[in-house]
Amino acid sequence: MIILSLGENCLPGMMLRRFGVKNTWSTPYTYSRSNICYAIKFEKEGYRDLLNKEFIILDSNSASPNLYRNIKYLDDKDRLLFEKSCSYGFEFTHHDIINSYEVNIPQ
């Protein structure tokens, strides 16, 4: 059995790791905040623009410093469907994707 973390935030992935669950795979959703609409759209396009700087903004209204969001699929209807924290774009909760040397972002 393979277990994937597709939660709206990092909690499912962190709990799987904490309890030593084997056969888990990391996905773009494992350590981020998202909603099912963003997930479906990114899946359909093969994550083509997930790290595209054209769609990434620094959220200066966030409590976390250097919190970046991909706003490609930002839709006002999401705010009616989902809790506020997961309806303002795909949030890179634990990673500084702009200044990290580990991330190669398309220009």
3-state secondary structure 36-64: HHHHHHHHHCCCCCCCCHHHEEECCCCCC
- Asked if residue 12 belongs to a domain, the reply is yes
Q: Looking at residue 55, what is its pLDDT? A: 93
| pTM beyond 0.85 | no
Is residue 55 one of the residues assigned to a domain? yes
Residue 54 CA to residue 68 CA, distance in Å, equals: 12
Do 36 and 30 form a contact (C-beta atoms < 8 A)?
no
Contact predicate 89/41, CB 8 Å: no
In a domain, 8, yes or no: yes
Tell me if 16 is assigned to some domain: yes
Is position 48 within any domain?
Answer: yes
pLDDT tens readout for residues 52-100? 889 998 887 777 777 888 999 888 887 788 877 778 888 887 777 777 6
Longest dimension (CA), the chain: 41
Position 5 pLDDT exceeds 70: no
Q: Is residue 106 part of a domain?
A: no
Of 96, 101, 52, nearest to 72 (Cα)?
A: 52
Residue range of the domain that includes 61: 3-92
Residue 17 in any domain: the answer is yes
The pLDDT tens digits for 10-46 are 777 777 778 887 766 667 777 778 888 888 888 899 8
- Quick check: is 72 in a domain? yes
Domain count of the fold of the chain: 1
Q: What is the rounded distance in angstroms from the CA atom of residue 7 to the CA atom of residue 20?
A: 18
